[in-house]
Amino acid sequence: MKLARSIVIFATLPLVATLGGLLMIVFADETQWGYDGDQGPQRWSALAPEYLLCGEGKAQSPIDIRDAVDVDLVAIEFHYGETANKIFNNGHTIQVDVDPGSHIVYNGITYDLLQFHFHAPSEHTIDGEAAALEIHFVHKDRNSASLAVVGILLSEGDGENESYAAVFDHLPADVGDPAPLGEPIDLDTLLPEAQGYYTYQGSLTTPPCSEVVRWLLLDKPLELSTEQIAAFTAIYEANARPVQPLGERDLLRASP
């Protein structure tokens, strides 16, 4: 099935909700939440009034990727450069903040790259199967409150992924302030060569679960070594929200 490129619609939501959700990714909030027990995902909506969407939202993320409709969509234009980075453990994941300058252009909209972080196992699943890890590159629209998150599944391979070595060799085990990662990273090297993707309108996968995200999940996983995966899971063995119902939303896949 082919759809006109202009059919892809981007939701614009209130600025306060978007920035609040974004700050939740960047900083640990005073409200305690986690991934198990009384603070786990099934309880998020009861932990604070501003988290109600985690339980009542109709466009939540992540989702199980299945039965996507192949369409003729624009490519994601990556304009990533070499950048100094700061890495830290924010209490929920390992996050890397990047210097300004890198961005993507999607459907005519420019989104600036703010940071990337990891989840174990992958939050999105493919036909019910999770990968070892998932990386999220978080971008913000320059002219509105919308976000775009590029997700990549990370699976176990035979050897070290040298492009990710600077990150996985310096994972901070303790919660703390951002610290320089060392040498600048060429962010382009963190991406797979093939950049087909799935897309749908969704939410942040952490409280307050704001429904402000255009998800762009690349359909080709990258490989990390067993040791690289173990370095992360030794700190965060399970920091993935369970998949949420797709409901009436469109799930599209960019045709090769």
Eight-state DSSP code of residue 160: -
Contact status, residue 117 vs residue 104, Cβ threshold 8 Å: no
- Which stretch of DSSP H or E encloses residue 15? helix 15-26
Enumerate the active-site residues.
92
* Euclidean distance between CA atoms 197 and 74, whole angstroms: 10
Q: How far apart are CA 133 and CA 148, in angstroms?
A: 19
Q: Please, which contacts does 98-106 make with residues 24 or more away whose CB atoms are closer than 8 Å?
A: 98/187, 102/187, 103/79, 103/139, 103/142, 104/76, 104/77, 104/78, 104/79, 104/139, 104/148, 104/150, 105/76, 105/77, 105/79, 106/74, 106/76, 106/77, 106/148, 106/214, 106/216
Question: What distance in Å separates the CA atoms of residue 52 and residue 105, rounded to the nearest whole number?
Answer: 32
Place of tokens 């924010």: 90
Tokens standing for 199? 């897309």
| Helix residue ranges, H only, 83-185 | 165-168
Sorted by sequence, the CB contacts under 8 Å of residue 143 that are 6+ apart come out as 109, 110
* Helix residue ranges, H only, 48-183: 53-56, 165-168
